[in-house]
């Protein structure tokens, strides 16, 4: 009897369940449908099992896109997290300087993705762009429309410029939340600046940095607008990251079956990495030394 | 261990203080004798923590100097001052083990690892932390964490003084007693100069040899617990120390007689050239309440009686003034009306809040009549 009474609470969850079902699970099921059938029309479809998955998994272009993507996301994390923490540490803690630096740092976050692309196209142009022209004037040839490496670096710069501020804001919030007594105790204990960072600031930022790593990984792993606006994935395939390739497959070639199977794999990869990061960051710096 | 001397010390958090009200600490001269345990007692916001932070160097005073054993340390940073401070909330280094936490202040000062081991083990044993030395500090309870904070203060053998800023705030009541006893033992064993900030009078009175009472940025009295209780130098000390605090009544003085709301009370001594508006103070413990009129008593109405288990507190009304009288548990308290006796021995007279010492050479009218 008691058990039934308790379980009645589940009925309360039904509205939320319905909303989530309509907004997330049903569209996802459509993708699942497409990934296991060959669909020609509403009444003309063939069940193909895992055929699309096999095809996608053995696609070398997809392998290349995945490697490119992993390298890109790793670099994004390696650059944005330390850089964000460094900038947050250098920002004033209080007064008008704090407000001003927060506004300045947050500016890139307010600009729409495609506008960011346009800004950087102009900024890095070798003829009229401030950055591109300056680099060329220094004797380093730079042209993102022709050189694959240059295009790749430009996308990375764009991403870093656009999203490091998010890491800064998170790290800054984490730093501001540390009680003053910790810094006072560290001074009394004679701790160096490095020791204060290593043993107080960094451990206290663990929570916000976990969020930063997860968000930046997911977002950069799904990057689309920046390379699309810049070169549409080129030159060659140099900036063809996973979602660029997916769109080429689905919209460009209209291969909905393989595209759907690819989407499922993509989704699982993101999910897997997020889970791994979360588990790793949850454990780091806790637990007893036996 | 050192003798700490404060000279012409004053502090304001404003960059350009204009009036006395801008000062968190009013100008003071004060000496903390070597090897003594002091409690710094006062209500929240009276400047206790500011004073403590000035001694440790976390706050640079706007005026005056701090010296340890005659050496001026005003310009030195906290890490150069050789001082330990324990804060209100436990500060531990989350990622380190208990051992590493305790060793941290010593490692920062470049001690040899063997010396560190010896000191850490000694302190851990003293604070009964030896069985958790290898554990992560972050996973321990609040009182164990605060013991680690205390330990980091005690681990340095050469400190000039250890400063405690309300260190037992987050500790369970029964552990508070235990940790306070621990600190007293440590003090007795090592004769360290200790300054213990608190707003809890019980904590102050049980911990310290001498209690320094602060009020509105000033030291108003320094004394043993008994001196503070029996002879408050300031009305603030009177009502802040003691439970309930001293009864303070505005009165008119004239030749050894205090007039309060029309009732005349002999104060037992004459204060030279003392006349006009003053305050009379007497502790609830020293008042006596009679059921019938006795010579020298004042008629009062009894408002209510509170039974606290070990004693009774009667609230009485004398003219416009309310007083508290502390009675023994067995005493019968008269209802509605009673007669209040003011033993002259325990009456204190205050002018502008400060105690006025009686002039022993003068005799009061009452004494002459006898």
Over the stretch B179-200, which tens digit does the pLDDT of each residue have? 888 888 888 888 888 899 988 8
Do A178 and A186 touch, CB atoms closer than 8 A? no
Rounded CA-CA distance A183/A23 in Å is 47
Q: How far is A290 from chain B (nearest CA, A)?
A: 7
Interface contact flag, B104 A192, Cβ < 8 Å:
no
Burial B124-151 (b: 16+ CB within 10 A, else e): bebbebeebbebbbbebeebbbbbbbbb
Q: Compute CA B75 distance to the chain's CA centroid, rounded to the nearest angstrom.
A: 29
Q: Give the pLDDT confidence score for residue A290 in this predicted structure.
A: 34
H helices present in chain B, as ranges:
48-56, 78-81, 98-108, 113-126, 142-154, 173-190, 201-207, 225-230, 235-240, 365-369
* Selected residue of A95, A178, A183, A190 to mutate for chain B interface (largest B Cβ count, 10 A): A190
Q: Give the pLDDT confidence score for residue A285 in this predicted structure.
A: 57
Residue-averaged pLDDT of chain A: 85
Q: Report the chain A residue with the minimal C-alpha distance to residue B82.
A: A188
Look at the block and give the residue holding tokens 């304001």: B12
Q: Report the chain A residue with the minimal C-alpha distance to residue B79.
A: A190
Chain B contact set for A200 (CB, 8 A): 93
| Count of Cβ atoms closer than 10 Å to residue A164 Cβ | 24
Q: What is the DSSP letter of A256?
A: H
Predicted TM-score (pTM) of this structure: 0.77
Q: Give the pLDDT confidence score for residue A100 in this predicted structure.
A: 93
* Angle at the Cα of B198 from the Cα atoms of B174 and B40, rounded to 5 degrees: 135
* Cβ–Cβ contact A288 with B under 8 A: yes
Chain B contact set for A182 (CB, 8 A): 91
**B337-341 and B321-328 strand pairing:** unpaired
- Provide φ and ψ at A194, rounded to 5°: -65, -45
Rounded CA-CA distance B344/B57 in Å is 47
pLDDT 10s digits, A59-102: 888 888 889 999 999 999 999 999 999 999 999 988 899 999 99
Interface of chain B against chain A, CB under 8 Å? 53, 56, 58, 77-79, 83-85, 87-89, 91, 93-97, 104-105, 108-109, 134-136, 138-139, 149, 152
CA dihedral A210, A211, A216, A219 (to 10 degrees): 140
Interface contact flag, B95 A195, Cβ < 8 Å:
no
Domains (ranges, CATH) in chain A?
60-284 (1.10.3720.10)
Nearest Cβ partner for B105 among A189, A199, A287: A189
Nearest Cβ partner for B108 among A190, A285, A288: A190
pLDDT 10s digits, B100-131: 999 999 998 888 888 899 989 988 988 888 88
3-state secondary structure of A129: coil
Secondary element (H or E) of residue A41: strand A37-41
pLDDT 10s digits, A248-288: 877 777 778 888 888 888 888 888 988 888 888 777 655 44
Rounded CA-CA distance B320/A74 in Å is 79
Rounded CA-CA distance A53/B364 in Å is 110
Selection from B40, B50, B39, B43 nearest residue B14 by Cα: B50
Which structure tokens are listed for A110?
A: 């307010």
Q: Report the chain B residue with the minimal C-alpha distance to residue A184.
A: B58
pLDDT tens for chain B, 370 residues: list them. Answer: 688 888 888 888 887 777 777 788 888 888 888 888 898 888 888 888 888 889 888 888 888 888 888 888 888 888 888 888 998 888 999 888 899 999 999 998 888 888 899 989 988 988 888 888 888 888 888 888 888 998 998 888 778 888 998 888 878 888 888 888 888 888 888 888 889 998 888 888 888 888 999 888 888 888 888 888 889 998 989 888 888 889 998 888 877 788 888 888 887 776 665 666 788 899 999 998 888 888 778 888 888 888 888 888 999 988 888 899 998 888 878 878 889 888 888 888 888 888 888 766 655 555 555 4
Nearest Cβ partner for B87 among A185, A199, A288: A185
Which structure tokens are listed for B329?
A: 């548990």
Q: Give the pLDDT confidence score for residue A247 in this predicted structure.
A: 84
Q: Which of A119-128, A191-200, B164-173, B359-368 has the lowest mean pLDDT?
A: B359-368
Chain B contact set for A287 (CB, 8 A): 136
Q: Compute CA A55 distance to the chain's CA centroid, rounded to the nearest angstrom.
A: 27
Q: Give the pLDDT confidence score for residue B201 in this predicted structure.
A: 82
Q: Give the pLDDT confidence score for residue A289 in this predicted structure.
A: 39
Do B236 and B250 touch, CB atoms closer than 8 A? no
Rounded CA-CA distance B35/B31 in Å is 12
CB-defined contacts A:B, below 8 A:
67
Distances (CA, A) of B348 to A63, A75, B246, B344, B354: 92, 77, 10, 9, 10
* Cβ–Cβ contact A191 with B under 8 A: yes
pLDDT 10s digits, B7-19: 888 888 887 777 7
Look at the block and give the residue holding tokens 């060793």: B103
């Amino acid at each position: 009897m008691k058990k039934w009474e308790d379980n009645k609470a589940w009925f309360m969850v039904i509205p939320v369940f319905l909303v989530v079902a309509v907004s997330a699970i049903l569209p996802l099921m459509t993708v699942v449908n497409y990934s296991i059938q060959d669909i020609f029309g509403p009444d003309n479809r063939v069940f193909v099992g895992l055929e699309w998955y096999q095809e996608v998994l053995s696609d070398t272009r997809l392998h290349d896109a995945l490697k490119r993507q992993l390298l890109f996301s790793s670099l994004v994390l390696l650059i944005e997290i330390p850089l964000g923490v460094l900038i947050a540490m250098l920002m004033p803690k209080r007064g008008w300087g704090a407000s001003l630096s927060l506004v300045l740092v947050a500016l890139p976050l307010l600009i729409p993705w495609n506008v960011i692309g346009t800004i950087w196209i102009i900024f890095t142009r070798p003829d009229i762009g401030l950055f591109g022209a300056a680099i060329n004037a220094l004797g380093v040839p730079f042209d993102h429309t022709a050189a694959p490496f240059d295009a790749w670096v430009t996308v990375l710069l764009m991403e870093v410029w656009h999203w490091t501020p998010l890491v800064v804001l998170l790290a800054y919030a984490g730093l501001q939340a540390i009680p003053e007594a910790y810094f006072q105790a560290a001074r009394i204990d004679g701790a160096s600046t490095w020791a204060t960072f290593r043993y107080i600031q960094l451990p206290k930022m663990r929570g916000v940095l976990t969020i930063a790593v997860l968000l930046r990984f997911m977002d950069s792993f799904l990057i689309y607008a920046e390379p699309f606006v810049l070169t549409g994935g080129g030159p060659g395939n140099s900036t063809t990251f996973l979602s660029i390739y997916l769109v080429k497959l689905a919209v460009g070639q209209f291969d909905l079956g393989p595209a759907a199977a690819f989407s499922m794999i993509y989704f699982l990869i993101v999910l897997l990495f997020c889970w791994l990061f979360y588990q790793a960051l949850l454990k780091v710096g806790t637990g007893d030394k036996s | 261990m050192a003798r700490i001397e404060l000279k012409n010390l004053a502090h304001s958090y404003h960059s350009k203080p204009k009036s006395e009200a801008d000062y968190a600490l009013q100008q003071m001269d004060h000496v903390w004798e070597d090897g003594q345990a002091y409690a710094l007692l006062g209500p929240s916001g009276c400047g206790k923590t500011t004073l403590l932070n000035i001694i440790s160097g976390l706050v640079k005073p706007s005026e005056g100097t701090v010296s340890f054993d005659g050496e001026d340390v005003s310009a030195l940073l906290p890490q150069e001052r050789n001082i330990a401070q324990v804060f209100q909330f436990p500060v531990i280094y989350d990622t380190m083990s208990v051992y590493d936490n305790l060793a941290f202040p010593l490692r920062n000062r470049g001690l040899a690892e063997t010396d560190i081991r010896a000191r850490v083990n000694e302190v851990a044993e003293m604070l009964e932390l030896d069985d958790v030395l290898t554990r992560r500090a972050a996973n321990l309870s609040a009182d164990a964490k605060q013991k680690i904070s205390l330990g980091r203060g005690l681990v340095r053998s050469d400190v000039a003084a250890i400063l405690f800023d309300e260190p037992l705030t987050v500790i369970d009541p029964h552990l508070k007693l235990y940790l306070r006893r621990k600190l007293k033992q440590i003090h007795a064993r090592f004769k360290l100069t200790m300054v213990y900030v608190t707003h809890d009078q019980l904590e102050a009175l049980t911990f310290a040899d001498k209690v320094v009472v602060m009020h509105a940025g000033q030291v108003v009295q320094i004394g043993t617990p008994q001196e503070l209780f029996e002879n408050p130098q300031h009305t603030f000390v009177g009502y802040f120390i003691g439970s309930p605090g001293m009864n303070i009544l505005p009165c008119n003085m004239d030749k050894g007689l205090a007039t309060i709301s029309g009732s005349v009370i002999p104060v037992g001594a004459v204060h030279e050239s003392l006349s006009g508006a003053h305050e009379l103070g007497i502790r609830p413990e020293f008042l006596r309440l009679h059921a019938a009129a006795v010579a020298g008593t004042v008629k009062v109405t009894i408002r209510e009686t509170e039974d606290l288990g070990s004693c009774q507190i009667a609230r009485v009304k004398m003219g416009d003034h309310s007083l508290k009288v502390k009675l023994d548990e067995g005493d019968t308290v008269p209802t509605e009306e009673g007669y209040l006796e003011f033993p002259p021995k325990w009456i204190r007279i205050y002018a502008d809040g400060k105690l006025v010492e009686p002039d022993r050479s003068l005799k009061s009218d009452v004494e002459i009549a006898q």
